[in-house]
Amino acid sequence: MRRLTTIVALAAGFGASGCGLDFYDADGKSEGALYCYQALVGVDCYKTPNHRDERRLLAYTGPAPETYPKPAPPPEPRLNAPEMVSYYVKDPEPIPTSPPKARAVSRESLPPARKTK
């Protein structure tokens, strides 16, 4: 019974803590705006919203992330083709060879077997 009580108490404690982040000081005052995003292993928090990760937003305090201006998208990369050449390089063709011939081995040519005790 004691073990069940301990398990239930631990589960209730973890459930009440949410994602495990404390947004407030011991006085109950907020530290300011904080935006937390899901990372591969844990949670990353920033003081300003990270608009490229808006789909991974877990929780925030302060103004809504939509109130911040979104940065301009990066410019499209310019793709340049390589220079034209009037030649090509070809690897030499392999020289065909016949497969190695198998040699027949007779029992007499083998070393004598060792006797075990």
Residue 77 within a domain: no
Predicted pLDDT of residue 105: 73
Q: Is residue 84 part of a domain?
A: no
The reply to whether the predicted model has a pTM over 0.75 is: no
Does 53 score more than 80 pLDDT? Answer: yes
Q: How far apart are the first and last CA of the chain?
A: 65
In a domain, 57, yes or no: yes
- Do the domain assignments include residue 78? no
- Residue pLDDT, tens place only, 64-80: 999 999 989 889 999 99
Provide the residue range defining the domain that includes 64: 30-70
Domain count, the chain: 1
Structural domain includes residue 115: no
| H helices, E strands: number in the chain | 1, 3
